[in-house]
Amino acid sequence: MKNFSWKIALLWTLPLLVVGFFLWQGTFTTPTASSGLSGNTASTRMTYGRFLDYLNSDRVTSVELYDNGRTAIVQAIDPELDNRLQKLRVDLPANSPELIAKLRDADVNFEYHPAGNEGAVWGLLGNLLFPVILIGALFFLFRRSNNMPGGPGQAMNFGKSKAKFQMEAKTGIMFDDVAGIDEAKEELQEVVTFLKQPERFTAVGAKIPKGVLLVGPPGTGKTLLAKAIAGEASVPFFSISGSEFVEMFVGVGASRVRDLFKKAKENAPCLIFIDEIDAVGRQRGAGIGGGNDEREQTLNQLLTEMDGFEGNTGIIIIAATNRADVLDSALMRPGRFDRQVMVDNPDIKGRLEILEVHARDKKIAPEVSLNAIARRTPGFSGADLANLLNEAAILTARRRKEAVTIHEIDDAVDRVVAGMEGTPLTDGKSKRLIAYHEIGHAIVGTLVKDHDPVQKVTLIPRGQAQGLTWFIPSEDQGLISRSQLMARIAGAMGGRAAEEEIFGSDEVTTGAGGDLQQVSEMARQMVTVYGMSDLGPIALGGGQGDQVFLGAGLTSRAEYSEEVASRIDDQVRQIAEHGHQLARKIIRENREVIDRLVDLLIEKETIDGEELKQIVSEYAEVPEKERFVPQI
Cβ distance 303 to 335 under 8 Å?
Answer: no
- Spatial neighbors of 439 by CB under 8 A, at least 6 apart, are 457, 498, 594, 597, 598, 601
Residue 49 has pLDDT above 70, yes or no: yes
Q: How far is CA 433 from each of CA 467, 505, 511, 589, rounded to the nearest angstrom?
A: 10, 13, 10, 19
Total number of residues shown for the chain: 632
- At 226 the pLDDT is 82
Q: Is residue 458 over pLDDT 80?
A: yes
User: Known catalytic residue: 438?
Assistant: yes
Taking only the tens place, the pLDDT of each residue in 205-217 is: 887 778 889 998 8
Query: Mean pLDDT highest for which of 95-104, 167-176, 191-200, 329-338?
Result: 329-338
Asked if the model's pLDDT at residue 29 lies above 50, the reply is no
Say yes or no to pLDDT of 269 above 50: yes
Specify which of 31-45, 84-98, 475-489, 493-507 reaches the highest per-range mean pLDDT: 493-507
pLDDT in tens, 102-117: 777 777 777 777 765 5
Q: pLDDT above 90 covers what percent of the chain?
A: 18
- pLDDT exceeds 80 at position 169: no
| Nearest 10 degrees: Cα torsion 376, 379, 381, 382 | 30
The 10 Å Cβ neighbour count of residue 318 is 27
Question: From CA 425, how far away is CA 407, in angstroms rounded?
Answer: 22
Distance CA 212, CA 229 (A): 12
**What is the structure's pLDDT at 40?**
54
With a CB cutoff of 8 Å and minimum separation 6, the contacts of 381 are 217, 218, 219, 220, 221, 345, 346
Supply the mean pLDDT for the chain. 78
| Active-site hit among 353, 438, 499, 500 | 438
Residue 24 has pLDDT above 70, yes or no: no
Above 50 in pLDDT, residue 628?
no
Q: Is 27 helix (H, G, I), strand (E, B) or coil?
A: helix
Kindly report the backbone phi and psi dihedral angles of residue 274, in degrees, each rounded to the nearest multiple of 5, phi listed first: -115, 110
Residue 620 CB coordination number (10 Å): 15
CA distance 77 to 90: 15
Q: What average pLDDT score do residues 75-89 get?
A: 75
pLDDT at residue 6, as a whole number: 47
Strands 454-458 vs 606-608: parallel, antiparallel or unpaired? antiparallel
Tell me the C-alpha distance between 501 and 436, whole Å.
10
Q: Which range among 152-156, 273-277, 472-476 shows the weakest confidence by mean pLDDT?
A: 152-156
Q: Strand 454-458 to strand 270-275: parallel, antiparallel, or no bridges (unpaired)? A: unpaired
3-class secondary-structure state, position 600:
helix
Q: What share of the chain is helix, strand, coil (3-state, %, to 5)?
A: 50, 10, 35
User: What does the pLDDT average to over 88-96?
Assistant: 74
How far, in Å, CA of 519 to CA of 98, rounded?
Answer: 106
Q: Is 152:14 a contact under the CB 8 Å cutoff?
A: no
pLDDT tens per residue across span 295-329: 888 888 888 888 766 666 778 888 999 888 888 88
User: What's the distance, Cα to Cα, between the start and end of the chain in Å?
Assistant: 53
**Quick one: which of 57, 92, 59 has its CA closest to 73?**
92
Residue 266 CB-density burial (10 A; 0-12 exposed, 13-18 middle, 19+ buried): exposed
Picking from 246, 230, 228, the residue whose alpha carbon sits closest to that of residue 238 is: 230
Question: What is the rounded distance in angstroms from the CA atom of residue 608 to the CA atom of residue 570?
Answer: 38
The stretch 153-170 carries a mean pLDDT of: 59
Distance between CA 72 and CA 61 in Å, rounded?
A: 13
Which range is least confidently modeled, 20-34, 77-91, 121-135, 568-582? 20-34
- pLDDT exceeds 70 at position 509: yes
* Residues ≥6 apart with Cβ < 8 Å to 378: 348, 472, 473, 476, 477
Kindly state the average pLDDT of the residues 489-509.
92
